[in-house]
Structure 1
Amino acid sequence: MLVVISSPVPMPREAECFNRLFEAGLEVLHVRKPKAGAGVFRDLLQGIDLRYYGRLTWHQHHAEGETWGMQRIHLPSIVRQQTPSAQLDRWKALGKTISTSIHSPEEYRTLSSAIDYALLGPVFPSISKPGYRSTAPLEAPARASQTTKRIAIGGLDPYRCEAVYNLGFDGIAALGSIWQQGDPVQNFKQLQEAWYIHAR
């Protein structure tokens, strides 16, 4: 599984770029803009091809996302902790895909079975947040009886894909390596090629 997380700030012709990423084979795009109002999300949706709506994951404005028929919801760690299990069950009954953010293998073991996948990191020093790093590369937590997929995030570029795969993760999520320099679509293609050499 390969996830791309949007730039936290608006970018020129962003919806068009999202469409190009999906055309290039992107499975899941997390729309994360913590300082943006619901209007920013509406404007983005109007520019994204309807056929890709099922691949969009909402980080904020979940109620707004539901009115647009979004089927994927992401819960930042603090939001997940404040979300009643009954709400998680309601989303699952509606066929939603639910993801969350975690920061340690121990936190993984506390997750509800309703969570489909968890972004765990930073696995390596972050590209998008200089100075944000783990003390050592995080290994994927043992799954035991849990079915929640473990997705690595933090410092991921094509050169680290093999290491991440060997650490036991089910997928990767990228932000800085996609958006910080060069063409995002070309950056994605390089990451996609590097990851799937090992994951397939």
Structure 2
Amino acid sequence: MDLIVLSSPEAIEKEAQIVNVLFEEGLSVFHCRKPQWSADQVAELIQGIALPYRSQITIHQHHKLAEELGLQRLHYTEANRKTVSQTELSLHRQKDITLSTSLHQLSDYNTTAQQFDYVFYGPVFNSISKQGYTAVVSGDFQLPPRQSTQAKRIGLGGIDETNIHQAAAYGFEGVAVLGTLWTQPQKAVQRFRSLKRITDTY
């Protein structure tokens, strides 16, 4: 099962150093999501992450930085996905850029499944980092089987070590974590290790 880490939207002390350790611990993909940051701020954070891990970094904002920083992964927010042209997505595909997006309505999956490599869907559980951001799935929720040409489904929202098993039972092929790591950054590495031990069993 894939384990993806999203950045805190806020500044975290020694964030780049922590992310480097997470990669050393086996992190496969880091999503840099800083909605309020300038391009220079995002670039500074990414430049603090060791060069060998650049191919594993996805940016949510300031996509033009990708070429400058040698990144091969782009995320489209739900709002941006609705305005991006098919031509732009096709050009990224031709360059072997990995594309992801976010869904809040599962009905949108059928229109995005062929265009993106994976999609975030949630919140699967009540959010840890956003008060009032409650789960959109119920106990009997089950994702339909995925065709090989369709985007992977990654569960997002409220994920911690107590409910990864339930996310897998729902049919998610991966999970993305944010609050469980960044609400207490000093424990981020320790918590990541615990999460990865669980996801590695799938």
Cα drift, residue 116 of structure 1: 0.1
List structure 1 runs of 4+ shifted beyond 2 angstroms.
134-146
**CA offsets per residue over residues 108-128 of structure 1, 9 Å max, x none?**
111151300000000110001
Name the structure 1 match of 2:161.
158
- CA distance in structure 1 between the aligned counterparts of 2:26 and 2:59, rounded to whole angstroms: 19
Name the structure 1 match of 2:187.
183
Preserved CA contact (<8 Å) 2:122 2:136: no
Q: Mark the runs of 5 or more structure 2 residues left unpaired by the alignment.
A: none
Preserved CA contact (<8 Å) 1:113 1:146: yes
- CA distance in structure 2 between the aligned counterparts of 1:125 and 1:114, rounded to whole angstroms: 28
- CA distance in structure 1 between the aligned counterparts of 2:136 and 2:179, rounded to whole angstroms: 20
Name the structure 2 match of 1:101.
102
Whether 1:148 and 2:131 are equivalent positions in the alignment is: no
Preserved CA contact (<8 Å) 2:124 2:136: no
Change in Cα spacing, 1:74 to 1:18, as seen in structure 2 (3 Å) is same
User: Identity of counterpart residues, as a percentage?
Assistant: 39
Count of aligned residue pairs for this structure pair? 198
Name the structure 2 match of 1:92.
93
Preserved CA contact (<8 Å) 1:158 1:195: no
Name the structure 2 match of 1:168.
171
- CA distance in structure 2 between the aligned counterparts of 1:50 and 1:10, rounded to whole angstroms: 21
Name the structure 1 match of 2:20.
19
- CA distance in structure 1 between the aligned counterparts of 2:17 and 2:148, rounded to whole angstroms: 41
Query: TM-score by structure 1 length?
Result: 0.94
Change in Cα spacing, 1:95 to 1:88, as seen in structure 2 (3 Å) is same
RMSD of equivalent CA atoms: 1.4
Q: Secondary structure at the match of 1:91?
A: helix
Q: Mark the runs of 5 or more structure 1 residues left unpaired by the alignment.
A: none
Preserved CA contact (<8 Å) 2:123 2:136: no
Change in Cα spacing, 1:83 to 1:141, as seen in structure 2 (3 Å) is farther
- CA distance in structure 1 between the aligned counterparts of 2:136 and 2:41, rounded to whole angstroms: 36
**CA offsets per residue over residues 8-29 of structure 1, 9 Å max, x none?**
0111111111100000000000
Amino acid at match of 1:164: A
Query: TM-score by structure 2 length?
Result: 0.93
Name the structure 2 match of 1:194.
198
Q: Secondary structure at the match of 1:12?
A: coil
Cα drift, residue 42 of structure 1: 1.6
- CA distance in structure 1 between the aligned counterparts of 2:48 and 2:142, rounded to whole angstroms: 38
Q: Secondary structure at the match of 1:158?
A: coil
Cα drift, residue 77 of structure 1: 0.7
Cα drift, residue 130 of structure 1: 1.2
- CA distance in structure 2 between the aligned counterparts of 1:121 and 1:10, rounded to whole angstroms: 24
Between 6-15 and 109-118, the greater mean CA deviation after superposition: 109-118
